[in-house]
Amino acid sequence: MRGSSVIATLAVIAGKLSTQAIRMLGLGLASNLPGKVARKIAPSVLADLASQARVGVVAVSGTNGKSTTSGLIASIFKAAEKKTVHNRQGANLLTGITATVVNAASWSGRLDADYCLFEIDEAALPVVAKEVKIGAIVVTNLFRDQLDRFGELDTTAKLISSGIAVNNSPAILNADDPNVAQMVPDAVRLFYGIRTLASGSTPSADDNSELAYCPKCGAEYAYKIRFYGQIGHYACPSCAHKRNDPEVYADNVSVTATGSEFTLNYNGESIEIKLALPGTFNVYNALAAAALSFKLGLPSTAIRKGLCAYSTLFGRSERVSLNGKQILIQLIKNPAGASQAVQAAARDPHGRYLIALNDNYADGRDVSWIWDADFEQLATCAGPF
């Protein structure tokens, strides 16, 4: 470990031993406890290990799409032959991120990685940023989520903004979400968004939009087109303020029940992308991943390969075979995410649907959000599972 002490090395060893014990006993994935153990011995262990990444640390935060966006970035990094440490199991709080780097390190506390790629919970972002210098931060979108933890949306926005401000990190922002686009106006910012849909495609009809107001005069935005929720092309009806033109954008977006296609544009170059991920929301996840990759100077060939070759994480448009049936699993945690997942699934007229709801702490104990999700879209579909 660079600049290590004996106690820091012992912290890594203790964390790795706890990982082995947990997995040997079949008690879980060891995605959190090893981080707690290591931090108890050496509170600076995350900072010490993350600082060894040869290029640096990048992060993804926001309400929906963190895991998928991070997974897409990891796929691009792999295509670009970059060694990456990534909390792909989704443990995105401080202890989970610490466990990730501890488990990736050698027993002597060395981390062999070009990048540390962290999916970070919105509330954890400012905490992690105080320990780790984050080179760039992607923000996906802002919807009401886990109200028992965060309260109103403004609280979530302030948490993310404060995390970006800790190191004055460059921000990769969704231009089509007005609550995201107006973040950190004094930071270095790169915007991504959708410009056009394919001929014959129509935007979502869901109404899970968050109120968005002009930061200049306070008037509520008006929309030329909404893709879903509050995400779309907006402008202030009272002053000249409007949506930022995205530098990274998608044209001719087309989505089906099983995938999506679009033209990715940046700096005069156009790349045809076919994603094995359904839904407009996954087009945004891919744009976010591409925008960060362009910002990092990765080649467009690696970006295309990484996006098109991406294989899903658990529950995020995951495909499995069960008793001869092909199953598509969509993890949803709030009204906007649910409505978009349902809309994508409803594109298959022969589909059957099973909906399961839990109120475990990790996903939020308050499940009242379910009443705002647009499950009525399934009324015209084939029937139950």
In which region does residue 167 sit, left (phi positive, over 0), alpha (psi from -120 to 50) or beta (all else)?
A: alpha
Q: Are 257 and 202 in contact (CB under 8 A)?
A: no
Residues 6+ apart with CB under 8 A from 61: 119, 120, 121, 122, 125, 137, 138, 139, 140, 160, 163
Q: Are 335 and 377 in contact (CB under 8 A)?
A: no
Q: Are 71 and 310 in contact (CB under 8 A)?
A: yes
Cα 89 to Cα 66, 119, 334, distances in angstroms: 12, 10, 20
- Please give the Cα distance from 385 to 375 (Å, whole number): 15
Q: Is 28 helix (H, G, I), strand (E, B) or coil?
A: coil
Q: Are 196 and 214 in contact (CB under 8 A)?
A: no
**Residue 366 appears among annotated catalytic residues:** yes
- Please give the Cα distance from 195 to 255 (Å, whole number): 15
Q: Which residues of 125-135 are buried (b: 16+ CB within 10 A; e: fewer)?
A: bbbbbebbebb
Of the residues 186, 359, 366, 374, which is catalytic? 366
- Please give the Cα distance from 333 to 326 (Å, whole number): 23
Residues with active-site annotation: 366
